[in-house]
Structure 1
Amino acid sequence: MVKYEIHNLPHPKTNRQELRKNQTSAEETLWQYLRHEQLPGRKFRRQHSIENFIVDFYCASEMLIIALDGVHHAETEAVENDKERDTRLHQLNYKVLRFPNEAIFIYLNAVLKTIAENFQKQEAA
């Protein structure tokens, strides 16, 4: 499967736009630190689709996906859906990092550090 054939397909476009307009407060907060290549020069996109999945944040150069999980992700059906989604994204060679929404407000610096530590190519000091 060719990379461009799975990214931002037309059918989830309306959903992507709605999700961007209605971000959770955790997404809004994290986005302030990911946008404009603030995290060691990496470009992130928000509400990006890969196949039929819309991911919260995506860094193409790192093949890295950041997922923020609200309380509904603890429900049995959501846990199963997340497992299936993550399995498929791993099959496509993406790395998925999941954080609970609360971590953004309580441990933001640790979350940002964890994201940066998962970059394949570390910036020279």
Structure 2
Amino acid sequence: MRQPVTLSSRGFARAMRADATKAETLLWQALRNRQLNGLKFKRQVPLDGYILDFVCFEAGLIIEVDGSQHADSQADVVRDRHFEEQGFHILRFWNDEVEKNPDAVCSAILQAAKGRG
């Protein structure tokens, strides 16, 4: 069951949108306004006590863009398991992967979304 979004989570998500990483900004430019095959993505979405980098509810797809602080993160494993149990598919990309090869990242997102919408 989804938890209500607290004001602090909502404020934190708003701050994260305003202070996005270069990789997040680059990927958002490709995802926003249904530019990627008509898929509707939202960014920095508070959900179930977490902040999701990008989510497409119609395809049940969560995209996380990670820096080195996420390497071998047990918290990310727990978080991913939580959302997989909710029926979401999670894709994780490293910042440099998004910055160096955004076309490949977008292709991977399209492939994952195929048949999930």
* TM-score higher than 0.5: yes
Correspondence for 1:10: 6
> What residue in structure 1 maps to residue 48 of structure 2?
51
Report the secondary structure of 1:96's partner residue: strand
| Residue matched to 1:38 | 35
Identity, in percent, stands at 33
Q: Displacement of 1:49 after TM fit?
A: 1.6
> Higher relative contact order by CA 8 Å / sep ≥ 6: 1 or 2?
2
- Give per-residue Cα distances to partners, 1:4-54, cap 9 Å, x unaligned: x44x71341111011001000000000000000000001100001210010
Q: How far is the alpha carbon of 1:120 from its aligned partner?
A: 3.8
Question: Aligned partners of 1:51 and 1:100: how far apart in 2?
Answer: 23
Q: One-letter code of the match for 1:46?
A: R
Q: Which moved more, 1:43-52 or 1:112-121?
A: 112-121
User: Shift of the alpha carbon at 1:91?
Assistant: 0.7
Matched, 1:110 2:110: no
State the distance in 2 between where 1:25 and 1:55 align: 17
Deviation at 1:122, TM superposition (A): 8.0
* Structure 1 residue aligned with 2:18: 21
The 5-angstrom pairing of residues 45-124 of structure 1 reads 45-74=42-71, 76=72, 79-121=73-115
Structure 1 residue runs without a partner (length 5+): none
SS in 2 for 1:46: strand
CA RMSD across the alignment:
1.7
Cα distance in 2 for residues equivalent to 1:110 and 1:68: 14
Residue correspondences, number: 116
Report the TM-score, using the length of structure 2 for normalisation.
0.92
Which consecutive segments of 4 or more residues in structure 1 shift more than 6 A? none
